[in-house]
Structure 1
């Protein structure tokens, strides 16, 4: 089956897709909603490359368990029954625990991810790995990006006006962080059809 029938994606593909969409909307000034879609897609690209930079080979590094033990045990039993009834598979306790944690766990929030990108315990995976060091201006830009993104994604009934020209600095600062994570951190590994060159080409859109 071809790509019109099956969607195949992963965390790197997801981050790259958001970055590509960011470049598209950045240059789609004829669309009255370009800024909205740019804030949404830039947020996804920043978040996505942050995840790629800290997860290493273990996805559990970016998953948090926030359920109380009693609720987790209930969800774990549901996972067991799903595999048993739907797939005819008996899961061993350790494997069932791991699968259940992954399925009911929550992805770290974006600031938690970025804090980890500044933490050696997460970032120093290789001798060539580099630590993110956010400037105050970058932090301010990211905070504004998050506010805009959340406002647009969870839109409450209201009228809103944004002087987009005065917010161009947000784009520049956020893109610089994405560029570091994607190309300079040393922790994002490109595989399959994706390469660093692809990222470099997408970044030329800004």
Structure 2
């Protein structure tokens, strides 16, 4: 959980720099992607951790345990598959659990974030350009996924009040900064 929160805090720090240097949007998106992935893993992992693995790996792991065979190497599922899983019954682990129900802009924003992050991380030498004015709104929708997972999914129990406060405060600060950026680009 700490790693996911640190990535969220880095998103806020990079966003401050992105106000004056568009280059930092790369790092806003990379850290935001990392934070969302971390929160999805925390919300999906459950007691056995199988929900966060690629389905075929989870199946082989169950079979290996049943047959006392060597365990396969665990492989974390892809970002977009984890996003799909938070919308399924895999999220329903306790009576308070809820699955994520996306609004019409969440899916598009998450897919775009994943695509942009992958371009940055797995880049081949090329020049890149993007319409930075569209990134604040996309980021707001992505942050809504984190807010749901952290505070509404019922799957992330954070008994550490200081950590909960950091998550809430950081989300609020980033959302305010993004809203201000949206206003500045439309005026």
1:21 corresponds, among 5, 10, 14, to 10
Q: CA deviation at 1:32?
A: 3.8
- Which residue of 149, 152, 160 corresponds with 1:181? 149
Structure 1 stretches of 4+ moved >6 Å: none
How far does the alpha carbon of each residue in 1:148-205 deviate from its partner, in whole angstroms, 9 at most, with x for none?
Answer: 1000001111111222112221111101111111111110122568532221011122
Gaps of 5+ in 1: 1-11, 77-92
| One of 114, 117, 127 as aligned partner of 2:95 | 127
TM-score, scaled relative to structure 2: 0.79
Write the mapping of 1:1-206 to structure 2, written as runs, cut at 5 A.
12-29=1-18, 30-64=20-54, 65=56, 94=68, 97=70, 100-101=71-72, 104-120=73-89, 122-191=90-159, 195-206=163-174
**Matches of 2:106 and 2:50 in 1, distance apart?**
28
The answer to whether the 8 A contact 2:80-2:114 is kept is no
Identify if the C-alpha distance between structure 1 residues 149 and 161 changes in structure 2 by more than 3 Å, giving closer, same or farther. Answer: same
3-state SS of 1:156 partner? coil
**Count of residues in Structure 1 that have an aligned counterpart in Structure 2:** 166
In 2, the alpha carbon distance for the partners of 1:204 and 1:193 equals: 16
Contact 1:62 1:107 in 2 (8 A): yes
RMSD: 2.3
Does the residue aligned with 2:128 lie in a helix, a strand or coil?
coil
My pick for the range that moved more, 43-52 or 158-167, is 158-167
CA distance in 2, matches of 1:105, 1:194: 32
Distance across 2 between alignment mates of 1:192 and 1:172: 26
Question: What is the distance in 2 between the residues matched to 1:194 and 1:60?
Answer: 29
Q: Distance in 1 between matches of 2:52 and 2:129?
A: 36
